[in-house]
Amino acid sequence: MKIAIIGAGNIGGAIASGLMQSEMGRNFSVVISDPDTAKTSQLAEQYQNISAEADNQKAVSDADIVILAVKPWLVEKVLSSIALQPSQILASVAAGITFEQLKSFCNAEVAMFRIIPNTAISLRESMNIISSCNATKEQESVIMDIFNQLGFSMLVTESQMAAGTALSSCGIAYVLKYIQAGMQAGVEMGIYPHDAMMMVAQSVKGAAELILKGDTHPASEIDKVTTPGGITIKGINILESEGFPAAIIKAMKSSK
């Protein structure tokens, strides 16, 4: 399968390198296009199945899937300068660009996907929010399989994209803020900064794994830790009284 990636920035580069490192890497032939030839050349030198291209049209000419990984304000300029074929799939990772906009920028009617990853895509641990338009079930399956190589993917309606972005793409920053706050608390209690950071980060990772692998509910896992008269319930009650849950909800809703 040939995949063309337009844009070799943080997200485009992470998608390209992540695919090469994945279990399906040998099945992909990736051409990455960007005016910054230093970035594309570096990827091409690093991975045998990646080739560099400076011309977007040449990059997409015989690709099965075209991944648009450019800034939102560049989408119209890029799409209006290339000719897509009806058999091709267009996947855009440009936040906020709707299917209606993508259709108006394209020269052909193609299967389209909007994809919102988060920064953990560089480690193949991204939460990928995906929506489709004019796509078959088989095409949806192909895109899901590809992006599941880069983390965990969920197919939603376009109307849910903004909320999904707030929860995952913006939400990762809120999780990091919790880690930072926990680290600061650890330092105040006498733990070295790096040690405190690792303690909190591993605790966050473990909590996430309980949910993801155990298919359980946060409340159930909290109940296992909060013994009657114990120290954890005291902290939980402080979080509640200080408005921690409400602050998280407000932050995510403000990012929608």
Angle at which helices 218-225 and 193-214 pack, to 10 degrees?
120
Strand partners of residue 3: 30, 65
- Alpha-carbon gap, residue 119 to 127, rounded angstroms: 9
Residue 180 pLDDT:
98
Per-residue pLDDT tens digits for 27-43:
889 999 998 889 999 99
Regarding whether 7 and 129 lie in a shared domain, the answer is yes
Q: Which domain holds residue 247?
A: 171-254
Residue 165 in any domain: the answer is no
Helix (H) or strand (E) holding 161: helix 161-164
Q: Which long-range contacts (CB under 8 A, 24 or more apart) does 252-256 make?
A: 252/166, 252/167, 252/170, 252/171, 252/174, 253/166, 255/165, 255/166, 255/170, 255/171, 256/162, 256/163, 256/165, 256/166
Average pLDDT, the chain: 95
Please identify, among 158, 193, 212, the residue that sits at the C-terminal boundary of a domain. Answer: 158
Regarding whether 135 and 10 lie in a shared domain, the answer is yes
Residue 108 pLDDT:
82
Residue 163 in any domain: the answer is no
Please identify, among 123, 158, 193, the residue that sits at the C-terminal boundary of a domain. Answer: 158
Query: How confident is residue 63, by pLDDT bands cut at 50, 70 and 90?
Result: very high
Regarding whether 153 and 123 lie in a shared domain, the answer is yes
Predicted TM-score (pTM) of this structure: 0.91
Residue 24 pLDDT:
82
Which CATH number fits the domain that encloses residue 225? 1.10.3730.10
Residue 124 in any domain: the answer is yes
Regarding whether 12 and 133 lie in a shared domain, the answer is yes
Counting the structural domains of the chain, the total is: 2
Regarding whether 126 and 40 lie in a shared domain, the answer is yes
Please identify, among 158, 183, 199, the residue that sits at the C-terminal boundary of a domain. Answer: 158
The CA distances from residue 202 to 168, 176, 205, 208, in Å, are: 19, 12, 5, 10
Query: How confident is residue 246, by pLDDT bands cut at 50, 70 and 90?
Result: very high
Residue 42 in any domain: the answer is yes
Per-residue pLDDT tens digits for 118-148:
999 989 999 999 999 999 999 999 999 999 9
What the block records as the tokens of 195 is 């040690």
Regarding whether 143 and 54 lie in a shared domain, the answer is yes
3-state secondary structure of 8: coil
**CB of 65 within 8 A of CB of 3?**
yes
Regarding whether 179 and 153 lie in a shared domain, the answer is no
Per-residue pLDDT tens digits for 159-180:
999 999 999 999 999 999 999 9
Residue 24 in any domain: the answer is yes
End-to-end, the C-alpha distance of the chain in Å comes to: 35
Residue 230 in any domain: the answer is yes
